[in-house]
Amino acid sequence: MIGTGISVNSITARRRHPLARLAVVALALGLLGGGYALFAPSNSADAAIASGKADDVAEGKSLFVAHCASCHGMNAEGGPMAPPLVGVGAAAVDFQVSSGRMPAGGPGPQVPRKPLGEWVTPEAINQLSAYIMTLGGGPQRPTAEMVDPAKGDAAKGGELFRANCIQCHNFVGAGGALTYGKYAPNLNEATPEQIYEAMVTGPQAMPVFNDSTITPEDKRNMIAYIVQMRELKDPGGFGLGRIGPVTEGLVVWIAGLSFMSLTAIWITAKKRKK
C-alpha cells in the first residue's frame, strides 16, 4: 500500500463494508462460470445446433456430466478407471445404459447387468447417445427391423452362434467363466437390440463382430436363434440350467442316490427287539 497514495485504513474500511462479502462471492462465482464457459468445448455443440438436435445434445451433455463424467472425464476423455468415450457411438451408449451396466456401481473385474436407475428412460438414453455421437461418431443403434427375430433364419443363425459365441457364452447362452474374474454373461436377459449392439461394439471382454465379419443379416439370424432358443420349452422336463453334465451329475448323486439309499434303509428296516 506504500506508494500508492491510498491509505491502508481506507482499504480495510471497504473490506469491512456490510456488502463486501456478497461482492466477493459474486466475483468468485462470476470467474468460475465465466472460466468454464471460456474453456468448455463448444465446437461439436455448434454442429449439433445446426442439425437441429441441440436440445438432445444439451440434455445429453448434462446427463453425462451428472452420471458419467466422474469416471469418464468432463469431456469423455477417459480416466484412470474408465475408457474414453470418443467414437464409441450410440450403440455402445444404449447397450451399456439400457442394460444397467453403466453407470457402474464400482470398480471390479467386470461391470454386471443391474436394475436401471430412475433417470434411465428411453428418452434419456436417446439424449445421452446424441451427445456421445457428437464426440466422434461410432456405431449407430440398429433399427427395429434389423433386430426383428421374426425376420431371421434361426437355423442359419444357430450355426453362426455355435461358430462364434458358444466358446464363452455356453451352448445356448447360459454364460460362462473367463479369466481374472471376468465372465461371459447369460444371454437370456439381453434384448434383441442389446445383442446386436454388443456384437458391433464389443463391450468389456467381448470381441467386436463388425459388419464385414458378420453381416447385419446374419446378425439378425443369430438374434432369431438366441430368442427362439430362450423361448423353446425344454421337451425333456426340467432343463437343469441347460449347462450340460455338471447339473446332471449333481442330480443323479443328490436326488438319485439319496432316493435309492432311503428306500434301501426303508426296506431293510426292522423293529428292534426290546
Partner 1 sequence: MTTTLKETPKLVGGPANYLDERLGAGSFLKRNLRKVFPDHWSFLLGEIALYSFIILLLTGTFLTFWFKPGMGHVVYDGPYQQLRGVTMSEAYASTLKISFEVRGGLLMRQMHHWAALLFVAGMTVHMLRVFFTGAYRKPRELNWIIGVLLLTLALLEGLTGYSLPDDLLSGAGLRITEGVAISLPLIGTYLTFFLFGGEYPGEDVISRFYSLHILLIPGILLALISAHMILMWVQKHTQMPGTGRTNQNVVGAPFYPAFMAKAGAYFLFTFTAIAGLGTFAQINPIWLFGPYTPADISAGSQPDFYMGFLEGALRLMPAWEINFLGYTLPLSVLIPALVPMGIIMTGLALYPFIEQWVTGDRREHHVADRPRNNPHRTSIGMAAVTFYGILWLLGANDEISSFFHIDLYHTTIFGRVAVFLGPALVYVITYRICMGLQRKDTEVMSHGVESGVIKRMPNGQYIEVHVPPAEDIADHLRGKAPIPVVSGEPDSEGIPPKGARSILGKAKATMSKKYGTEHIALEEDHGHGHAAIGSGDGEDRKELH
Neighbour tally for 111: CB within 10 Å: 18
The nearest distance, CB 264 to partner 1, in angstroms, is: 4
Contact status, residue 178 vs residue 168, Cβ threshold 8 Å: yes
Query: Do you find a cis peptide bond into 103, omega within 30 degrees of 0?
Result: yes
The nearest distance, CB 232 to partner 1, in angstroms, is: 7
Q: Quick one: cell of 114?
A: 443391474
Q: Which residues 143-202 are close enough to bind partner 1 by CB under 8 A?
A: 154-156, 158-159, 162-163, 166-172, 174-181, 183-184
Q: Which of 39, 238 has the CB closer to partner 1? A: 238
Q: What b/e sequence results for 14-38 when a residue is b if at least 16 CB atoms lie within 10 Å of its CB, and e otherwise?
A: eeeeeeeeeeeeeeeeeeeeeeeee
Between CA 147 and CA 159, with CA 153 as vertex, the angle to 5 degrees is 105
Q: Which of 28, 246 has the CB closer to partner 1? A: 246
Position 123, amino acid: E
- Residue 7 within binding range of partner 1, rule CB under 8 A: no
Binding mask 215-254 for partner 1 (x = CB under 8 A): ----------x--xx--x-xxxxxxx-xxxxx-xx-xxx-
Residues near partner 1 (CB under 8 A) are 109, 154-156, 158-159, 162-163, 166-172, 174-181, 183-184, 225, 228-229, 232, 234-240, 242-246, 248-249, 251-253, 255-257, 259-261, 263-265, 267-270, 272-273
